[in-house]
């Protein structure tokens, strides 16, 4: 799983039938400090409640569709959780 920040929503009038009634979010992947890392991606939303500006965690690949079981949803990236708090231990000065 990876961290990301929801930066928007995606609307599509033509899509795979398995994506009917599924929310599509635009997510900016980020590192533990919250800095952007990589290009924004489109994710399905398994939580059903992730909103703009929220820190989330997401997964990619085959595992992205597992969050919707027993439904068969075609998904490459899926938001699987909303981060309430993030505790990152300080790095040693020597590293």
Residue 32 is predicted with a pLDDT of 87
Q: What is the pTM of this model?
A: 0.86
Domain ranges of the chain: 2-82
CATH superfamily membership of 2-82 = EutN/Ccml (2.40.50.220)
Residue 52 is predicted with a pLDDT of 95
Mean pLDDT of the chain: 92
Residue 94 confidence (pLDDT) above 70: no
Residue 34 is predicted with a pLDDT of 86
Residue 1 is predicted with a pLDDT of 84
b/e 63-84 (16+ beta carbons within 10 angstroms → b): ebbebbeeeebebebbbbeeee
Candidates 24, 3, 27; CA nearest to 14 is 24
Residue 37 is predicted with a pLDDT of 94
Residue 66 is predicted with a pLDDT of 92
């Amino acid at each position: 799983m990876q961290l990301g920040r929801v930066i928007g929503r995606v609307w599509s009038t033509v899509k795979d039938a398995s994506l009917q009634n599924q929310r599509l979010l635009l997510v900016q992947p980020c590192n533990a400090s919250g800095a952007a890392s990589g290009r924004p991606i489109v994710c399905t939303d398994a939580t059903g409640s992730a909103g703009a500006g929220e820190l989330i965690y997401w997964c990619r690949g085959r595992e992205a569709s597992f969050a919707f079981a027993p439904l068969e949803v075609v998904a490459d990236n899926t938001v699987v959780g909303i981060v309430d708090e993030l505790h990152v231990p300080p790095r040693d000065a020597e590293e």
